[in-house]
Amino acid sequence: MDPRRTLLLTLFDLRHSVFKVKGLLFLLPFLLYWLAILQLLHDGGAEFVVSQQGMLISTLLLTPDVTRALFIDNPAVLSMTLMLGLTTLPLFCMLAGCNQLAADAGRNSFRFLLTRCTRSELFVSRYLSACLLVAVAMGLLIVAVTLMSLHIDQKPLLTTLTYAAWILAVLVIYALPLIAFMSIFSSMMSGTVGAFLSGSSVFFVLMMISRWLDDDYPALFYVLPNSLKASLYDVYSPDIMLSLAAMLAYSVVYLSLGWLLFQRRSV
């Protein structure tokens, strides 16, 4: 695999995704959702989160230690973004990752490229491009939330900036296996809709099965990366680095599956 060609293909795809259906499919819902959330936080939601009532509700979902770490020790607005981000990322990553290869492969458009690059370069570049798109969108979101946090949470500047960088890293790393998961379906299907529907259906079914059968078959619980999501909230947990490493491992496994399918695919 040639790094120069992979980089060329990645940047080309990223540049031509942003304002096209491929990118807008992810960017528009992402933008609308987070605008609504930021509006809510701006209109008093952030103060509510750190109020006694808010903290009480939070303790219904999280342990008291995690609640304190998220909403007292660290900037609450950023913590809220982390929680909402981790919850909604699977959907956004499905939207961002469903069209890595499917539509172009279905139209045979790769034929002009494949005498000049390898399938591996094409596969990896499309994955990296989707990851970069999500990372850039997340980065812009975190910048906006950090500015809001500095205004609302009143924590020291360095604490806020460090925590913001940490949250961005966690969210981006969590996105990697989710986009890799979609590469499997994008390698198989011949259209964006088909790749999205098949990917999201399998994700949903696997999630249900892993919840129902985790007592009898504990290994099933770990089929999807969101089984480790809870450990990513707990910023003081020693397991958090292990969970982040696991996200990279999930990415490698899913990418290998997608790569195998794309290698065998007729283009």
Partner 1 sequence: MIECRNLVKSYGRVRAINDLTFDVDAGPPIGLVGPNGAGKTTLFSLISGFLTADSGTVRVDGIDADSSRRNGIIGILPQDAPFLKGIRVRDQLDLFARLQGMSAREAIEVTRTVTTDFGVADLLDRKPEHLSHGQRKRVALAQSIIGQPKLVLLDEPTSGLDPVVADDVRRLIQSRAHAITFMISSHNLAELEDICETIIVINEGRLVVATSVAELRGRDQRLRVRLANPADDAMIARLGRIEGVVDVTCANNDLKQIIIRYDCMDPDRLQMEVLGLMQAAGLPVVELSQGGKLAEGILRLVRDEK
Binding site for partner 1 (CB under 8 A): 1-2, 5, 8-9, 12, 16, 20-21, 103-104, 107-109, 111-118, 120, 264, 266-267
**Three-class SS of residue 101?**
coil
Comparing CB distances to partner 1, the nearer of 4 and 158 is 4
Residue type, 57: I
Locate 246 and state its tokens.
């696991």
Nearer to partner 1, 25 or 176 (CB): 25
Cα 31–174–159 angle (5° rounding)? Answer: 80
> Which of 84, 117 has the CB closer to partner 1?
117
CB of 103 to partner 1, least distance (A): 8
Cα separation of 185 and 131, whole Å? 16
Instruction: In angstroms, give the least distance from the CB of 12 to partner 1.
Output: 5
Distance CA 155, CA 221 (A): 38
What distance in Å separates the CA atoms of residue 66 and residue 174, rounded to the nearest whole number?
19
82 close to 170: Cβ distance less than 8 angstroms: yes
- Chain center to CA of 169: 11
Whose Cβ is closer to partner 1: residue 76's or residue 113's?
Answer: 113
How open is the CA angle 20-258-3, to the nearest 5 degrees? 70
* Residue with smaller CB distance to partner 1, 9 or 247: 9
Least spacing, CB of residue 8 vs partner 1, in Å: 6
How far apart are CB 3 and partner 1 at their closest, in Å? 12
For the CB of residue 128, give the shortest distance to partner 1 in the complex, in Å.
16
